Amino acid sequence: MFEQLHLWLTVAIVALLTLFLLQNLVTVEVTFLFWAVQLPRAIVVFVVFASGALFGWILNSVRRHRRRSG
């Protein structure tokens, strides 16, 4: 039962991500200081999301390490 639920959730997430990707293929220009790059909007959103998730994970790891150490 759990495997079937897992399969359906995976299919739904992949379908939603595919729909998001197809609706956000427009190229946008991202400018930061003297650097500029043109990428599809979906890639920009993914990079921003992944950067935020990585930053949050690193901060959480540092916080847990400090609690254990001292």
Residue 37 has what pLDDT?
95
Q: DSSP letter at 1?
A: -
Stretches in the chain below the pLDDT threshold 70 = 70
Instruction: Please tell me the predicted confidence (pLDDT) of residue 70.
Output: 65
Between the alpha carbon of residue 30 and those of residues 24, 26, 55, the distances in Å are 15, 13, 20
Is the distance from CB of 39 to CB of 27 less than 8 angstroms?
A: yes
